[in-house]
Structure 1
């Protein structure tokens, strides 16, 4: 019995289902994204090991090159304003809003040289994804043990100045799709003040027009990225953390609502960035 007609019909049926059924299309795109992350992480890890032999911030340029290709698969466009502000030749803390698993694409699109990220320790155990993050110099924090997190941040403060590193942190601490910014945690601001380095806020527009997990929407779209002016911390002390946090939160929230064309409402971050312990 000839199987090709049946296989062809099944494949056409599957393609039709993915086109017509939003939920199936969403799941397929997410599955492809996860598969790409695993495959690209494995390949990038091999290249990093062959090129630099181990863990170094220089591997981030290799990782970034691989991940930037994702946008062509998903039809995602980036409109970036203020990119040169990230290319300063000095250590700094970069903070940005955190919306979904797609943030990795946005991060790698504008990632400056000698920039590492701070991530939760659980990501270290995600097979090739954890390996490539480790090789790229990512700093992992155990959020369940505050003493360990404080120790890592203290070590990072010294290293970023000594090695001229930029450090990228998501101050919301978790993904957020509520159409506003969550209150910021204090860790990034303590780090910047301890190292006496500027903070550079980066704001990504809302993904909701093309990506929404609650409605299973996942299509192509455009992400607007705005790099704000650096906020100096020279001369500031720990006592200035609340004011510094609030200044950055207000500037980022105003920009987020503007570039997302989202009306101001009673979001979780209305008014100011309520301070939570890192």
Structure 2
């Protein structure tokens, strides 16, 4: 072989070795696969769905079906507990903890019927992602404009009741890479109280590692087993605006206790295997 061919051969062997024997590289390759899957999905699927079905809330179920398939390639095992709590009739609000973009794997796993996503307005301008928002009727919130945000919340209240919808929200307001929960924004709880609809908390276990990795630890997207705990509904009937702060705080405490509990189960199970 010529020098170039030998060099190429050794590089391929080295790459294969890194992929098979380096946990860190394995995780990074999975992240490339994950993001690649999203890009391909939002480019290829929405045009066909739009052509056949137009803009409908139910379209999100189709995208979730496609998204679920990638977790088998990633080796992620998701255990869902309390799924019967999502069988509640009528409109309600799903409040969930927010870690990273990987949370869409959890949404894809448990999304209830006729559910829309409340997200940031910036998604509207992110190319094909804006088409997805239109296709699935996402509710987009302008977080930098308080007046617009209040109008959006009023729109959510009317839409929930008129169209018998459910709304999936992240009350922390931003991604949270720490092994706890940020304080909850109260706007979504005001909507639930104003509409007199129940709140259903959904808690996903911590699937990351802290930024200060030690030897032998794997980085972000390191845990292949997740637990999603769906809690019983929290009624808001009879509540008024004065009850919103306590409702937000008590819901956060309930979810934080559940978060710590399910994370403890994962650690204990791992210790038992070891």
Question: TM-score, normalization: structure 2?
Answer: 0.87
Alpha-carbon distance in 1 for matches of 2:110, 2:212: 28
Matched residue, 1:86: 86
Greater shift, 6-15 or 44-53, is seen at: 6-15
Distance 1:40-1:86 versus aligned 2 partners, 3 A rule: same
Q: Deviations over 1:116-171 (max 9, x none)?
A: 01001112222222321321111111111111111111111101111110000000
Unaligned runs of 5+ residues in structure 2 are: 214-218, 266-274
| Partner SS state of residue 225, structure 1 | strand
Unaligned runs of 5+ residues in structure 1 are: 263-278
1:153 aligns with 2:153: yes
Q: Deviations over 1:210-254 (max 9, x none)?
A: x55654344451111111110111121111101111121111111
Deviation at residue 11 of structure 1 after TM alignment: 2.7
Deviation at residue 103 of structure 1 after TM alignment: 0.4
Residues 203 and 255 of structure 1 are in contact (CA less than 8 Å); yes or no, is this contact kept in structure 2? Answer: yes
Matched residue, 1:38: 39
Deviation at residue 23 of structure 1 after TM alignment: 4.8
Alpha-carbon distance in 1 for matches of 2:8, 2:84: 52
Alpha-carbon distance in 1 for matches of 2:49, 2:176: 32
Deviation at residue 36 of structure 1 after TM alignment: 1.3
What pairs with 1:162-201 in structure 2 (closer than 5 Å)?
162-201=162-201
Matched residue, 1:254: 257
Matched residue, 1:266: none
How many residue pairs were aligned?
259
Matched residue, 1:110: 110
1:224 aligns with 2:227: yes
What is the RMSD of the two structures over their aligned residues, measured on CA atoms? Answer: 2.1
Alpha-carbon distance in 2 for matches of 1:25, 1:248: 37
Residues 119 and 139 of structure 1 are in contact (CA less than 8 Å); yes or no, is this contact kept in structure 2? Answer: yes
1:57 aligns with 2:57: yes
Residue 233 (structure 1) aligned to one of 232, 236, 244:
236
Q: Deviations over 1:9-61 (max 9, x none)?
A: 433322323344455444433232222111111222123213312x2101011
| Higher helix proportion | 2
Greater shift, 247-256 or 219-228, is seen at: 219-228
| Partner SS state of residue 260, structure 1 | helix
Residues 38 and 129 of structure 1 are in contact (CA less than 8 Å); yes or no, is this contact kept in structure 2? Answer: no
Greater shift, 118-127 or 10-19, is seen at: 10-19
Alpha-carbon distance in 1 for matches of 2:135, 2:212: 34
Residues 87 and 113 of structure 1 are in contact (CA less than 8 Å); yes or no, is this contact kept in structure 2? Answer: no
Question: TM-score, normalization: structure 1?
Answer: 0.86
Alpha-carbon distance in 1 for matches of 2:101, 2:17: 26
Greater shift, 31-40 or 153-162, is seen at: 31-40
Q: Deviations over 1:186-214 (max 9, x none)?
A: 11101101111100001111113xx5565
Distance 1:213-1:132 versus aligned 2 partners, 3 A rule: farther
| Partner SS state of residue 264, structure 2 | coil
Residues 172 and 183 of structure 1 are in contact (CA less than 8 Å); yes or no, is this contact kept in structure 2? Answer: yes
Distance 1:196-1:12 versus aligned 2 partners, 3 A rule: same
